[in-house]
Amino acid sequence: MLPDYKIIYSARKTIALEINQEGLTIRAPQKTPKEVISNLVKEKEPWIDKKLKNWENKVLEKNTPYHNTTNQIWFKGSEFQLRNDSKVNNYLIQNNNKTILFNDDFFELDRFYQEELSTHIKPKITLFSHKLQVAINTVRIKKLKSRWGSCSSKKNLNFNLSLIKTPTFIIDYVIAHEVSHLKEMNHSPAFWEVVESIYPKCKEAKIWLKKNGRYWIN
């Protein structure tokens, strides 16, 4: 099975394959037929698989429970205090006083982020995809270093785990952005019209990310 990949067309003269923790990116000359790119990926599949596995091994990190009751984390745009409480089952979010009670025997921060982001993403994807009448293959949440999300030619969506740290209007914008790529696989004016049609706060979110994104992405 061929891996997912993103194609970036430019004025370059040759095709280049780039692999990092975010996956495979193909850089190709303008008007390169997709069949040519697909055949190249098939030809290089063993090498690509090996490189992708190497990256997976590099970014694989073991989750560790928090033992310090004074730890603070960012969650949906606010700073929350982590407080150990053996009476809770796994964790309990207290929005009124910005506290997350957690059971030290079960709590893992990355798993907490994963569960909460997944819970937030699912209904939004359903809403936006229904509005655009588009189908989605798979949705994954990963640790990414330079992207908030991605959409592949196979209709697979990836989202950065760090999204859960940002304000909810940013999370929703990134979801709308990636779902919109299922209509327009580019960043043309037509694409931005699609994004704004399903998420009116698009411009506000873009300004926030331009100003603050680099501080939140990892």
Per-residue pLDDT at 56 exceeds 80:
no
* Residues 209, 140 within the same domain: yes
Q: Is residue 35 part of a domain?
A: yes
Q: Is residue 65 part of a domain?
A: no
Averaged pLDDT for residues 169-184: 96
User: Structure tokens of 49?
Assistant: 């698989």
CB 105 within 8 A of CB 125: no
CB 163 within 8 A of CB 140: no
To the nearest 10 degrees (0 to 180), the angle between helices 189-198 and 109-132 is 100
Q: Is residue 204 part of a domain?
A: yes
Handedness of CA 178, 180, 182, 184 (dihedral sign): negative
Domain that holds residue 14: 5-59
Find the range with the poorest average confidence among 25-34, 61-70, 104-113, 161-170: 61-70
Does the pTM exceed 0.85? no
Over residues 78-137, the pLDDT tens digits come to: 889 888 888 888 889 998 888 998 887 777 888 899 999 999 999 999 999 999 999 999
* Residues 93, 154 within the same domain: no
Q: Is residue 64 part of a domain?
A: no
CATH number for the domain harbouring residue 180? 3.30.2010.10
pLDDT value of residue 191? 94
Residue 57 pLDDT grade (very low, low, confident, very high; cuts 50, 70, 90)? low
* Residues 168, 118 within the same domain: yes
Q: How many domains does the chain have?
A: 3
* Residues 157, 93 within the same domain: no
